[in-house]
Amino acid sequence: MWYNLLELGKRKVIFVVEKNKEYILDIVAQGYEGEGIAKIDTYPIFIPGALTGEKVRVKIIKVKKSYAYGKVEDIITPSVDREVEKCTYYKRCGGCSIQHMSYKKQLDFKWERVKDCISKIGGLSEELVSYPLGMDINPYRYRNKVQLPIGKVNGEIAVGFYAPRSHNIIDIDTCLIQDEIADKVAVLTKEWIKKYNLEPATIDGEFNPNGILRHIMIRRGFKTKEVMVVLVATTKNIPYIDEFKKLIIENVKEIKSIVLNINSKNTNVILGTECITLYGSDTIQDYIGEFKFNISPLSFFQVNPIQTEVLYNKTLEFANLSGEEVVFDAYCGTGTITLFLSQKAKKVYGVEIIEPAIVNAKENAKLNNVENAEFFVGKSEEIIPDLISNGIKADVIVVDPPRKGCDIKLLEAIGKTRPERVVYVSCDPSTLGRDLKILEEQGYKTIKVQPVDMFPQTSHIENVALLVKDC
């Protein structure tokens, strides 16, 4: 229960918010994860599945000192932007949190979120943020990779996704944002587990030390149509593994690789470091633009290949290369952006702390006959100053950090390096806003922020920002 005392003239009015009680509320805003926000006095109530402008009947399910969570019981006045959810698992699965929005509303929501982060966190004008570049085709079935946990729920085998904010597996037969082949493999895997009574490594959300099966991962090359299936297990000794291989080979004609990945630890990390190829090739291939990439079980590869081209072309546009520039690509991963930059740069230096990623990056450069790219293993904030001390000066620096944003030492190194332009690729608007503010303090001016919708039906949004040296 929450109380708020409000003075109205000489009267004192007490507002009460109680758990399990129902209220009729007006939705006045959207939260960062797409949830509707209502207020009783100034007290915010977060309501997943509600849209701005709607009047809803809500049951309060959690009450805290400064906020509460509610569940929609009835939509009294629906928004014109509301859509009927296409997925039957939508309200239970933790994947697509904004599927109830029209796609135009999704883009509007993401635009407002980016503008809010850029202005409130970054201290910059929201006018710098362009409207998101969305998918021109149907914004479903766009993911080329899925990782499905395997477990036992109430005594039954479940292969699917986790419920929101939990490790409870929602058993599913189809996911509308994944490639159709992933649905097929998931169903086949579940059939195999049930037929041979195999033990999963999770029971009712808890780690099972006697279990052997953890996840099934499916990767699909959208242009090549090649399929990789990765079975994640706690041990190399999997009963009836030949039957599994046969089942996949006979039913998935595009199969090119079946891999066993070993992860025996009680951890939330999905993949272990050891991979054993059971069938076919160690990798599959796919394209981004004209570039071909080898994709291993452990490789990072953008999950929406259609929008990845949009994102990378925008990055190349912002870099504004003439063919004479030296470029540093920090957090280069497997070199996907590096190769795109190599098309118009004199020389590109890619830096990544994960050594296997750099091995893949070098292989990808060789695969595409790219000779003006060089890769280094290490921290960007250490490697880049070393390159500079060796007489290599960048005209452009591109950064594509993880969700936590750039290391402060790298941002300071960029300030000291003083390239003409910085292109910042970000998967989190909040950390982007924070880092743009720091770069502005380092002597740079933010020119433009372009959101790119890589993840329709979810609250996530990618961004590309252009900064120039402020002389």
What is the pLDDT, as a whole number, of residue 167? 82
What is the pLDDT, as a whole number, of residue 76? 97
pLDDT at 4 over 60: no
Largest distance between two CA atoms of the chain: 80
Q: Is 2-77 in CATH node 3.40.1160.10? A: no
Q: What percent of the chain clears pLDDT 70, i.e. is strictly above it?
A: 97
Q: What residues does 47 pair with on adjacent strands? A: 36
pLDDT at 14 over 70: no
pLDDT at 13 over 60: no
Q: What mean pLDDT comes out for the span 394-413?
A: 94
**Residue ranges of the domains in the chain?**
2-77, 107-136+304-469, 145-295
Q: Is the dihedral of CA 100, 103, 108, 114 positive or negative?
A: positive
Pick the CATH number of 107-136+304-469 from 1.10.287.1080, 2.60.40.4070, 3.40.50.150, 3.40.50.1220: 3.40.50.150
Q: Is the dihedral of CA 440, 453, 114, 410 positive or negative?
A: negative
CATH code of the domain made up of 145-295 = 2.40.50.1070
Tokens of 285: 């291939």
Q: What mean pLDDT comes out for the span 345-363?
A: 93
HEC readout, the chain:
CEEEEEEECCEEEEEEECCCCEEEEECCEECCCCCEEEEECCEEEEECCCCCCCEEEEEEEEECCCCEEEEEEEEEECCCCECCCCCCCCCCCCCCCCCCECHHHHHHHHHHHHHHHHHHCCCCCHHHECCCECCCCCCCCCECEEEEEEEEECCEEEEEEECCCCCCEEECCCCCCECHHHHHHHHHHHHHHHHCCCCECEECCEECCCCCEEEEEEEECCCCCCEEEEEEECCCCCCCHHHHHHHHHHHCCCEEEEEEEECCCCCCCCCCCEEEEEEECCCEEEEECCEEEEECCCCCCCCCHHHHHHHHHHHHHHHCCCCCCEEEEECCCCCHHHHHHHCCCCEEEEEECCHHHHHHHHHHHHHCCCCCEEEEECCHHHHHHHHHHCCCCCCEEEECCCCCCCCHHHHHHHHHHCCCEEEEEECCHHHHHHHHHHHHHCCEEEEEEEEECCCCCCCCCEEEEEEEECC
Tokens of 273: 């470091």
Confidence class of residue 199 from pLDDT cuts 50, 70 and 90?
A: very high
Residue-wise pLDDT tens digits, 126-157? 999 999 999 998 999 999 999 999 999 999 99
Q: What mean pLDDT comes out for the span 327-348?
A: 95
Q: How far is CA 440 from CA 35, 126, 327, in A?
A: 32, 15, 20
The rounded mean pLDDT for the chain is: 93
Please check whether the two domains, 2-77 and 145-295, share a CATH topology: yes
What is the pLDDT, as a whole number, of residue 283? 93
Tokens of 219: 């990767």
Contact between 425 and 398 (Cβ < 8 Å): yes
Rounded CA separation 46/399 (Å): 34
pTM for the whole structure: 0.91
96 annotated active-site: no
Q: What percent of the chain clears pLDDT 90, i.e. is strictly above it?
A: 83
Tokens of 7: 């003075």
Confidence class of residue 113 from pLDDT cuts 50, 70 and 90?
A: very high
Confidence class of residue 267 from pLDDT cuts 50, 70 and 90?
A: confident
Confidence class of residue 15 from pLDDT cuts 50, 70 and 90?
A: low
Please identify which residue in the block is written with the tokens 């830096």.
Answer: 351
pLDDT at 19 over 70: yes
* Strand blocks (E) in 254-325: 255-262, 274-280, 284-288, 291-295
Tokens of 32: 């960062």
What is the pLDDT, as a whole number, of residue 236? 95
Closest among 214, 270, 279, 211 to 243, alpha carbons compared: 279
Closest among 27, 50, 49, 51 to 39, alpha carbons compared: 27
Q: Is the dihedral of CA 445, 448, 453, 458 positive or negative?
A: positive
Residue-wise pLDDT tens digits, 412-463? 989 988 999 999 999 999 999 999 999 999 999 999 999 999 999 999 999 9
What is the pLDDT, as a whole number, of residue 10? 46
Q: How far is CA 53 from CA 28, 50, 429, in A?
A: 6, 9, 25
- Specify the DSSP class assigned to residue 126: G
**Choice among 87, 175, 427, 471 that is catalytic:** 427
